Structure 1
Amino acid sequence: MVSTNYAPEHAGIGPYATQIAEHWAGLGHDTHVFAGMPHYPSWSLDPQYKGAFQRTEKRAGVTVHRRRHTVPGRQTAVKRAAFEGSILVHGAVAPPRMPKPHAVLAQMPSLAGGVLAARLAARWKVPYVPVVQDLMGAAAAQSGISGGDKAAALAARAEAYALKRATLVGVIHETFVDKVVAMGVDPKRIRLVPNWSHVEVPSAPRGETRRHMGWAPNQTVVLHSGNMGLKQGLEVLVGAARLDPRVRFVLMGDGSQRSALAELSADVPNLDIIPPAEDGKFPDILAAADVLAVTQHAAVLDMSVPSKLTSYFAAGRPVVASVAAEGGTAQEVERSGAGVLVAPEDPRALLKAVHALADDPVTADELGAAGPRHVAANLSREAGLARIDALIDEALGGPLP
């Protein structure tokens, strides 16, 4: 597998890449991962890897080959290009030392990872299968990154290079299909491989967790968990918090916009910005909130379905999605029956939806209960990993003996 993001990263693509690789190792396959240095979602290098240029390590039976790259604390087109370029150059000049594999799977993004995976598979003459978690061409154009138009054009060319060379292409949501086809991929080679809920079910009593978090029993708590980047448009939560000091808003996580959000909300006492939760406590904190929020800029239509959604659904709390109605995130929330949609970048609309759920606990509980049912029926880890196995088996022409 080629995946810039990998454990110990606990958010975004990293957990999916890790669970796939560890699943293969658990089946007895000699599994190797070509990865970057841990840096997400804080966009700062994990201190344990400081000064490391190359590192090979064993994690849960998986051999992980890491290569150094730049880590831009602030997202601009130039810095993002340097990030991708450093992954590509270091990966090309120092590929992993390992036996010839049967197949190469890539997690996209990163763009450089997709290109490296395509080149490695061609060198080894083995099937190459990228899984599209996001399309960076669309992301650069829509997210507000400085220089986004030029970045989008470069990203689209790199994506097309990587995808057109694939044996099969996996996409995590049907909204990606048309984009992938437009890049020159035969639709007959595209397979739907949705992500799954990669967290455990909540186990601690809600009241106990709320006391630990300092949340009053009668206070409505709206929680956003995950990356704090440009495309999330988290300013809408700051705006909603300003409108009603009785509602507590919590941003839990890290990302390139954390400092800017802290500055913007410095005079908003009912908004807290807290670090990412420990893996073992994460499901309980989600379940202890009253409402789970997912937000995106209005222009974001074709971006990936946020990985946080699968965790939200498993937590059993209602979701308020401040996103474009035409996008994949809105489709997934509607499909689950676990939440409500509001117009993006509209603090009043978001707050109105929160008030409606707080005033109608029966409906809130019904929406919350729909999430775990959706996970059990469609988003179990076993089903998700089986889809990935089937994708690789098809690319190989049949399962390995």
Structure 2
Amino acid sequence: MRRRLLLVSTNYAPEHAGIGPYATQIAEHWAAGGHETHVLAGMPHYPAWSLDPAYAGVWRRTEERAGVVVHRRRHTVPARQTALKRAAFEASVLAHGLLAPPSMARPHAVLAQLPSLAGGVIGARLAARWRVPYVPVVQDLMGAAAAQSGIRGGDRAAALAARAETYALRRAALVGVIHETFVDKVAAMGVDRRRIRLVPNWSHVQGPSGSRAETRRRLGWDDAETVVLHSGNMGLKQGLDILVEAARRDPKIRIVLLGEGNQRAHLEELGADVPNLDFMPPVGDDAFPDTLAAADVLAVTQRASVLDMSVPSKLTSYFAAGRPVVASVAAEGGTAQEVLRSGAGVLVPPEDPDALLAEIRRLGADPTAADALGAQGPRHVEAHLTRAAGLARIDALIDEALGGPST
């Protein structure tokens, strides 16, 4: 049956990091399947937290991308993250989304990605207005993240975020979570466990296709040096100071930070005197897989105070690249569990540069072992994280919410 579906996601293409690629691939999958697909999104700004110049001065815009009708609404874009500025961001998303909802006929169902908080609330309100099933997918819980963020006013922000998340999740027909570590938290908000479904993210990039040696030459990476690459958002939660310190302690290791984020300027200042620390702007989708694969080690880091239940989108891309992962994260979190499950990486304690360097040196000194470890990543992707499997789980979630067979 041809359906009319609405996806609410503050982040959407052309944003290439975070949850934006997942929203884009879900919507384009629906459209390719013959469904009338609408997306309510914000203005492109992530991960740089800077408005895409193509949308400067735009208040509202409706555009078509790959058969999807995208309804964009203006909101604040805080260059620096404080509790007050993040609240203003969420409030502006919420207000504009509710005051100017998509101009469309009544959909069959509404799916929303959390975060943002505002997107979850908007999805719940619009679904109630239309009297159709509402299905949120929890990519992260902002209440817990705000409490651990280190942002001034984080405790108050955490309480407000938890209230908004509880409001949105309790009104859902079904709740999707990307990792099993979210189940207890969502249930504690008053959601019946029988309405929670596991819908893991998938690897949203293709595997590498070019020559590692040629890519390294193009990037200026010497074959004799060990290159450690971190890709994605440079925010407070990532605790990337540890990689700056690692580069400072061992000049034989090149540390590359690829991407954008509100902490990039701070990190550049912190590492201004470290010659083996490089900053790279985001690369296009065509070059991204080969860039990851050209590194010797791929790094994922989090601050010691962060017990992150989510699995960062970079991790599925790392697995597809076929390089070993060193994860400087809490052993109890979702990231650590997924690294161990994949067999493609090792864990070290967060904010411990000596432990991090020890693993990097070990892998750099034994390329055969590093290659064998990294090779587990594509196998894990093929077995568990293919795009087809991930999108099929989303389809099953919508089918069940609309009265189809239970999964």
TM range (shorter): over 0.9
Distance 1:289 1:302 in 2: 25
Distance 1:298 1:102 in 2: 43
State the Cα distance separating 1:144 from its structure 2 match: 1.0
Residue 153 (1) aligns with residue 159 (2): yes
Assess if the C-alpha contact under 8 Å between 1:37 and 1:66 holds in 2.
Answer: yes
Distance 2:151 2:324 in 1: 31
Matches within 5 A, 1:37-186: 37-186=43-192
Q: Which amino acid aligns with 2:317?
A: S
State the Cα distance separating 1:146 from its structure 2 match: 1.5
Q: Which residue of 2 is the match for residue 250 of structure 1?
A: 256
Q: Which residue of 1 is the match for residue 333 of structure 2?
A: 327
SS in 2 for 1:386: helix
Assess if the C-alpha contact under 8 Å between 2:310 and 2:333 holds in 1.
Answer: no
Pick the aligned partner of 1:349 from 332, 355, 359.
Answer: 355
Assess if the C-alpha contact under 8 Å between 1:228 and 1:254 holds in 2.
Answer: yes
Q: Which runs of 5+ in 1 are unaligned?
A: none
State the Cα distance separating 1:303 from its structure 2 match: 3.8
Assess if the C-alpha contact under 8 Å between 2:179 and 2:309 holds in 1.
Answer: no
Assess if the C-alpha contact under 8 Å between 1:175 and 1:302 holds in 2.
Answer: no
Runs of 4+ in 1 over 3 A off after TM superposition: none
State the Cα distance separating 1:195 from its structure 2 match: 0.1
State the Cα distance separating 1:329 from its structure 2 match: 0.3
Q: Which residue of 2 is the match for residue 266 of structure 1?
A: 272
Distance 1:91 1:211 in 2: 47
State the Cα distance separating 1:68 from its structure 2 match: 0.2
Pick the aligned partner of 1:309 from 294, 315, 328.
Answer: 315
SS in 2 for 1:254: coil
Residue 241 (1) aligns with residue 250 (2): no
Residue 15 (1) aligns with residue 35 (2): no
CA offset digits 1:159-196 (Å, max 9, x no partner): 00000000000000001111101111001000000000
Q: Which amino acid aligns with 1:208?
A: E
Q: Which amino acid aligns with 2:56?
A: K
Q: Which residue of 2 is the match for residue 298 of structure 1?
A: 304
State the Cα distance separating 1:302 from its structure 2 match: 3.3
Distance 2:14 2:151 in 1: 27
Assess if the C-alpha contact under 8 Å between 1:160 and 1:183 holds in 2.
Answer: yes
Q: Which runs of 5+ in 2 are unaligned?
A: 1-6
What is the TM-score with the length of structure 2 in the denominator? 0.97
Assess if the C-alpha contact under 8 Å between 2:318 and 2:325 holds in 1.
Answer: yes
Assess if the C-alpha contact under 8 Å between 1:114 and 1:159 holds in 2.
Answer: yes
Distance 1:263 1:146 in 2: 21
RMSD: 0.7
**Percent pairwise identity:** 78
Matches within 5 A, 1:364-379: 364-379=370-385
Q: Count residues with an aligned counterpart.
A: 399
Assess if the C-alpha contact under 8 Å between 1:139 and 1:303 holds in 2.
Answer: no
SS in 1 for 2:8: coil
SS in 2 for 1:201: coil
Q: Which amino acid aligns with 1:27?
A: G
CA offset digits 1:128-177 (Å, max 9, x no partner): 00000000000001121111000000000000000000000000000111
SS in 1 for 2:232: strand
Q: Which residue of 2 is the match for residue 277 of structure 1?
A: 283
Residue 218 (1) aligns with residue 235 (2): no
SS in 1 for 2:375: helix
What is the TM-score with the length of structure 1 in the denominator? 0.99
Higher mean alpha-carbon deviation, 356-365 vs 24-33, is at: 356-365
Distance 1:398 1:59 in 2: 29
